[in-house]
Structure 1
Amino acid sequence: MIAIFGGTFDPVHSGHINMALQCVKTFNLNTLYFMPCALPAHKAAPGISTQHRIGMLNAAIAPYSHFELDLRELNRTGPSYSLLSLQELRKENPTTPILFLIGMDSFNNLDRWFEWQAITQLCHIVVYQRPAQYCNVTGDLENYMQQSKTDEITALEQTLAGKLYFLSGETRDAASSTIRKQLKKSNKKNELLPDAVSHYIEVHQLYQIDA
C-alpha cells in the first residue's frame, strides 16, 4: 500500500507530521507522499510562494525515510482536483491499494468535492480525527460511510479501493490558520512547528505581512 496526504501545507506543522507518522505506523507503510495542492482560485493568495511551501515540506520530512513529496498538483495546469491526481496514481499503480489520508473536517465536507464518489472508487479514504472534531455527515456521504467503513486493516490490504477507515492515535491540536496568526506577531520558534520549519520561516522572514 501507498498513502497520499494532500493539503496546502501553509505552513506544514507538527499535526501534519503526526498524522502521517500514525498512518505509516498503523498500516506498516513503506512510503507516504505529501502532495501539496495548488491554492484554490477562490482564496486570496497567502503571500507564501509555492517554492517556500515546498521548502518547508522538504525541511519537515527530511528526518523521515518513509516520507516523500509528490508535486504533480503544483506542476499541473488547470484545476487542481484530487480526482485527477488519484486517476493518475491509479494508472501508475494499477495493482497497489492507495490510501488517501484526510482530516475529519475534510471528510465532513467530502460530498462537496469534485466528483467525490469517483474518488472513493480510486482509493481507500483514511480519516484522522483532531481534538474536538466529530463525524457529522448526512445523505449520500452517510450512506457511503455506512457501507464502506471497516476496522480491519486487512480489508484495505486485500482490495484496491472503496473502503473507509477511521485512524485513531495521538492527536495534536494544531491548525495552519492559527499558526499563521501567531507567526505574524513573531516569526521565531513556534511549538506547533517542527524545528526545521521554524528555522526556515525565520531565515526567509515568512508570514510577516497580511495574507
Structure 2
Amino acid sequence: MIGIYGGTFNPVHYGHLRTALEVKELFELDQLRLIPCRLPPHRDQPDVDGEMRLAMLHLAVADSPGLQVDRRELDRAGPSYMVDTLQALRAENPDTRLILFIGADAFAGLESWHQWQRLFDYAHLVVMTRPAYGLPDMPAFLCQRLCEDRRQLRQQFGGRLFFQAVTGLDISATQIRNLIRAGRDPQFLLPDRVIAYIRQHQLYLSSTQDIECKQNNC
C-alpha cells in the first residue's frame, strides 16, 4: 500500500513527521509519499517557494526509509487539486492500494474540496485525529464508506473512510514562522537540518530582519 500525505509543509515540522511515521507503521505501508503543493486551493500562496519547501522535506526525511518526497504537484500548473494527484498516482499504480491521509481540520472542510467525492474513486481516505476524537456528523455519502477496522482497507483499492488516532503534537508551521520572525529559537519543533536550511536562506524573517541580515551578510 502507498500512503499520500499532502500539504504546504511551510516548513515541515515534527508534527508532520511524527504522524507520517505512525501511519506508515500502523497501516503497514510500503511507502508514504509526502507531497508539497504548489498552489493550495484553500489558503494563501506560501511565502516560500516550492523548491525550498521541497528541499526542507528532503532534509527532514533523509534518514527515514519508507518516507518519500513526491514533487508532482510542484510540476503541475494551476491549483494543486488532490483529486488530480490521486488520479495520476492511480494511473501509475493500477494494482496498488492507495490511502490519502488528512487531518481532522482538513476533513471538516472536505466538502469544499474540488471534486471531493471523486477522491474515493482512486483511494481510501484516513482522517488522522487526536485520541478520544468523536465522529462528526457526516453526509450519507461518507457514512456509507465508513469502516471500523483498518484491515478492511486491504480488501479493495479505494472507496473507504477510516478514522485513526495519532499522537497529537501541538506544533504548527504558523507558530514556527512567527517564532522565527520574533527572533526566537524554533529548536525541538523541527529537525536541526531544516533549521539550518532556514537560517542559511534567511527564511521567514520580518522585513526589518531581512534588511539587517543582508547588511551584515548573515
Cα deviation code 1:26-71 (max 9, x no counterpart): 0111210001101336754443122210111011111101111111
CA distance in 2, matches of 1:201, 1:132: 35
Tell me the secondary structure at the aligned position of residue 34 of structure 1. strand
The runs of 5 or more residues in structure 2 that have no matched partner are 208-218
RMSD: 2.0
Shift in alpha-carbon separation, 1:146–1:6, aligned structure 2, 3 A: same
Q: Does 1:165 align with 2:162?
A: yes
From 171, 178, 181, give the equivalent of 1:181: 178
Shift in alpha-carbon separation, 1:39–1:135, aligned structure 2, 3 A: farther
Residue 214 of structure 2 is matched in structure 1 by: none
Tell me the secondary structure at the aligned position of residue 205 of structure 1. coil
Q: What TM-score, normalized to structure 2?
A: 0.87
Shift in alpha-carbon separation, 1:99–1:44, aligned structure 2, 3 A: closer
Residue 101 of structure 1 is matched in structure 2 by: 101
Which segment is superposed worse, 74-83 or 144-153?
A: 144-153
Q: What TM-score, normalized to structure 1?
A: 0.90
Which segment is superposed worse, 174-183 or 14-23?
A: 174-183
Report the count of equivalent residues.
207
Q: How does 1:129-208 map to 2 (within 5 A)?
A: 129-130=129-130, 136-138=136-138, 140=139, 143-186=140-183, 188-208=185-205
Shift in alpha-carbon separation, 1:178–1:64, aligned structure 2, 3 A: same
Residue 48 of structure 2 is matched in structure 1 by: 48
Contact kept, 8 Å, 1:187 with 1:201, in 2: the verdict is: no
- How far off its partner does 1:187 sit? 6.0
Structure number with higher relative contact order (C-alpha < 8 Å, ≥ 6 residues apart): 1
Contact kept, 8 Å, 1:7 with 1:36, in 2: the verdict is: yes
Taking only the aligned residue pairs, the percentage that are identical comes to: 38
Give the residue type in structure 1 aligned to 2:38: A
CA distance in 1, matches of 2:61, 2:204: 21
Residue 76 of structure 1 is matched in structure 2 by: 76
Cα deviation code 1:155-209 (max 9, x no counterpart): 1011100111111232211111111111111264432112221121122211002
- How far off its partner does 1:122 sit? 1.3
